[in-house]
Structure 1
Amino acid sequence: MGNLLEIFAERMNFEYELVRPLDSLWGIKLENGSWNGMMGQVYRNEVEFALGPFAVTPQRANAIDFSVAVHSDNQAIIMTRPTLQNDIAGFLKPFSKEVWILIIMSLLSVSLAMVLLEALEGWIFSITTRKAVPKILMWMLQTLTQENPRWLPKWDGSRLIVITWLLASFVFTSSYSGILTAMLTVPRVTIPIDSLADLVAQSHLPWRLESGAMMLTYLQESEDEVRRKAFTGMSATIPDCWSARQGIASGKFAAICDETTMRKSISWDFSTSGQCHLYIARERVYSNLMMCLAFKINSTYLEKANSIIEMLRDTGVLSKWLENEITNTSQCLRPPAYDRGHGIQPLGLDLILGPLLIVLAGLSLALHVFAGEHLIHLLLPEKPSS
């Protein structure tokens, strides 16, 4: 905007003085009908025009005059960049909760069916299987974990259930091992917030809106429940997204900002740190906003300013100025999954910590059972046979 102001001053032959609003805001209409921020300065004729650029809304257009569009912009969520997180329960992720519940239910239901059928066949053929329930449960678990069970039912009815369960357990274990191998080979970066609905549905990351910006009024007056919740659920306001870039990059909060400022913040972040700490959500909260300069009503400079803006826009000068301000963003605009790098990487202990904890828990349980059995044997010695 500084370059554009210089051309205005040269072509329209005027000198200028930059006046910053006391509240450092863009400007929204207050309940008493007045305006704050830069919009208020223009509305009260304290300045000839404000560079902004400002998003044009019907409410603003009724208060002041706007120039032709300098460029179009979008509003989206900007937050700290998601990274690859090691999950202690990652070995459970190949299947969803519903699938795990169905596997457990099928295990119990097939076990119950075998117990009942084994008892019925024993009654029919007058042959009773000793400790049938423990044997059946152990057999079910052994087949599900691909062990070689030693016990098999004696009659065809139970063996038909055995064949069915063997086929089902083969599908379970083969699918699980294949999906888990793929997940360990190419781990995915989980993006918890990629839309406005995701933002308002979570509670671990607070969000803020620009004070005095059009998005504040837009979300407040929206009849959509999600957008209304984005306003009512915000933790605080920020003067502008550029000044809040460090807080966003450090993960203190997310913000809803214009895409130009977001890209400029990403450029600053990569240029100063050499890394990507910021992420722009894929869903746009508001698209194709016309960004214009704000002029007081009946300004004598508006018509000439429009012709200059159109000339610079049509010749690509405005786009070139914008590109010069926003550099080093291509790496950080890629999906977070690309941050992992290339080549084969060894698996760390944290990736198999969950299964190891299960093994340790099983060993601990077995040790306690062994100690209990030994204690019972000492306290209740077997009676000598007569």
Structure 2
Amino acid sequence: MARLRHTCRRIVFVSRNVPGVMPHPLKEVQQNPEVVQEMHSNAAHFRFQEGASLVITTLHSAPHIFIEEDGEGGGTDATSLPIRGSLANLLSILAHKLNFTYKLIQPPDKTWGTLTDNGSWTGMVRQVKNQEADIALGVFAPYAERVEAADFTSLFFFDHRCLVAGKGASEIDPWSFLLVLAPAVWASMTGALVACWLSILLFVVTTGHSLPPLLKAETLFLQISTLLNQGVVWRRIMWRERLVLGGWVLIGMVVTWSYSCQLPSLLAVRSIPQPIQSITDFLEDPSLKAVLVPNTYITSVMAQSREGEFYELNKLQGSDRIIMRTQAEFPNVLDNLVRRGDHVILSNTFPLKTAMAQDFSRTGKCDFYLSHQTFFATGHGMIGQKNSPIIPLISRITTYCLEGDFQAAPGEEVELSVPPAAALEVEADFTGLEHSEDYIILGREEAPKIRGTPSPSGGQTTSETLNHSASG
């Protein structure tokens, strides 16, 4: 087994295809029946012997993929699209393991993809279905329509959806004295007070005596005075009444002591309002606006709903209460809209937590909160063209990565600058694995091992950089 040192920060995979010869597109390579047969029969060790060129579509999806677009690289057919993140690292492993180069593109509408009313698809799903891209690099939630349009890899990420809203200004709640005791305790104390009072009246009546109305009221007042630690004098009290009142005094003493100990602390603490905890809370406040990512699992469910919260949410589409933004715009939306308190974001929990963490790192303030309500917990995977034999291969390698707990450390993700369909040099940062004493990147014996010696594929290795031959 290989020992991964903290100093081993970069792994460089260098493609060694025949100089001057461009790899053939994947579609042409898969027309060779011998290649397809080997992909099916030798999945554990398959590599494209002469290389292959893939077109891969992707979108910014923190923390899985960060796309740092510049003036020249931000188009949908950019010659260089710098990406970083855990999926960028996974892509470099796939490229090395299967021996392919790739070109990264983005969908023109910058969306994931949903089925429209006319039966066509949008976003990355459309590019894959129309064979404009071989693979969509991202975390896609599977549902019936998507599964019919594209093939999913094995699911490697699980997440649910929720709301994120801005915290209110800190304030002292004038009713906080009621929060010391739970509602059930208040109800029990009230019930015990009434029961004790009625018991005393009943005992007096059974002895043949009668109490005037004023004395009845005085008896109740004296019981309340006991809770307030006031000195009281009981008149006309017999031994049965003494037992009842003694039990009441004991209960009242324990409760009031507990109450008085906690009350100063609660009154000194300022509360921060967090009123939006569910979609219903949003719907009931007409001053709020929701920000959603277009053409996603959530919008698809909204369009298909015929009742309930998401049906009501879907009816707001087209009004000024629903705003569509991409995940790449989340930091700006949090800073300029949600922080004001009149906007919320409805999306996957993990990207929302990432945007909140980035905002905290930048400002040093925690101004947002996640709702208590969560919904739509689903698995996520990448997608490819229907019946493409490369999808099972990708699923197999992805499973190895999951078994090996491969991930990139936050803030230290890889940055790739990928030229289209050419011999490429990919830098992958495997930070976050330095805690492992012994480690194989893909978790199985056929995976490339990290060592300070030449690799089995012929590349030269140092403690800082490992060069592997992509052609084997």
Pairwise TM-score range, normalised by the shorter structure: 0.5 to 0.7
Would you say 1:178 and 2:258 are equivalent positions? yes
Judge conservation of contact 2:165–2:276 (CA < 8 Å) in 1: no
- Uncovered stretches (5+) of structure 1, i.e. residues with no partner: 327-386
Q: Which is helix-richer, 1 or 2?
A: 1
Equivalent position of 2:384 in the other structure: 295
The one-letter code matched in structure 1 to 2:224 is: L
Q: Structure 2 residue aligned with 1:140, among 200, 220, 223?
A: 223
Q: Structure 2 CA distance, aligned partners of 1:312 and 1:101?
A: 56
Q: Is the aligned partner of 1:210 residue 2:293?
A: yes
* Equivalent position amino acid for 1:73 in 2: F
Query: What amino acid sits opposite 2:362 in the alignment?
Result: T
Aligned to 2:236: 154
Please state if 1:37 is matched with 2:127. Answer: no
Q: Pick from 56, 63, 66 the counterpart of residue 149 of structure 2.
A: 63
Task: Tell me how far 1:33 sits from its aligned partner.
Answer: 1.2
Instruction: Determine if contact 2:200/2:244 at 8 Å carries over to the other structure.
Output: no
Match among 405, 408, 418 for residue 320 of structure 1: 408
2: distance between equivalents of 1:101 and 1:88?
21
For the residues of structure 1 that align with 2:219 and 2:404, how far apart are their CA atoms? 80
Give 1:165 deviation, angstroms: 3.0
Question: Displacement, 1:170?
Answer: 3.2
Residue 87 of structure 1 is aligned with which of 173, 176, 179?
A: 173
Amino acid in the other structure paired with 1:144: L
1:177 and 1:251, CA in 2 relative to 1: closer, same or farther beyond 3 A?
farther
Q: Quick one: which amino acid aligns to residue 150 of structure 2?
A: I
361, 380, 399: which one aligns with 1:271: 361
Name which of 156, 160, 167 aligns with 1:75: 160
Find the counterpart in structure 2 of residue 354 from structure 1: none
Deviation at 1:174, TM superposition (A): 2.0
State how far apart, in whole Å, the 2-side matches of 1:73 and 1:185 are.
40
3-state SS of paired residue (1:320): coil
Distance in 1 of aligned mates of 2:154 and 2:299 = 23
Query: Does the 8 Å contact 1:73/1:259 carry over to 2?
Result: no
Q: Structure 1 123/166 Cα, relative in aligned 2: closer, same or farther at 3 Å?
A: closer
1:201, CA displacement in angstroms? 6.0
How many corresponding residue pairs?
313
Structure 1 residue 213, shift from structure 2 partner: 0.7
CA distance in 1, matches of 2:106, 2:122: 14
Which range moved further: 97-106 or 307-316?
307-316
Structure 2: how far apart are the matches of 1:227 and 1:172? 48
- Over the aligned positions, Cα root-mean-square deviation in angstroms equals 4.6
Q: Distance in 2 between matches of 1:214 and 1:170?
A: 58
Q: 1:168 to 1:130 in 2, by over 3 A?
A: closer
> Are residues 135 and 286 of structure 1, via their aligned partners in 2, closer, same or farther at CA, if it must alter by over 3 Å?
closer
CA contact (8 A) 1:81 1:277 kept: yes
Which amino acid in structure 2 is aligned with residue 154 of structure 1? R
Partner of 1:61, secondary structure, is helix
Q: TM-score of the superposition, structure 2-length normalised?
A: 0.52
Q: Report deviation, 1:256.
A: 3.8
Task: Tell me if the contact between 1:41 and 1:47 (Cα under 8 Å) persists in the aligned partners.
Answer: yes
Note the C-alpha offset of 1:148.
1.3
Q: Aligned-pair distance for 1:92?
A: 1.5
For 2:177 and 2:399, locate their aligned partners in 1 and report how far apart those are by CA, in whole Å: 58
Give, in whole Å, the separation in 2 of the partners of 1:189 and 1:227.
31
Distance 1:116 1:315, change over 3 A: closer
| Distance in structure 2 (CA, Å) of the matches to 1:233 and 1:121 | 70
Matching of residue 12 in structure 1 with residue 92 in structure 2: no
Could you tell me how far 1:289 is from its partner in structure 2?
0.8
Q: CA deviation at 1:271?
A: 1.4
Distance 1:59 1:130 in 2: 75
Normalised by the length of structure 1, the TM-score is 0.61
Q: Contact (CA 8 Å) 2:152, 2:381: kept in 1 or not?
A: no
The unaligned stretches of length 5 or more in structure 2 are 1-64, 66-82, 415-472
How much has 1:171 moved relative to structure 2?
0.9
8 Å CA contact retained: 1:76, 1:280: no
1:253 Cα deviation from its structure 2 partner: 3.9
Give the 5 Å matches for 1:197-276. Answer: 198-200=278-280, 203=284, 209-218=292-301, 221=304, 236-245=322-331, 246=334, 247-248=337-338, 250-276=340-366
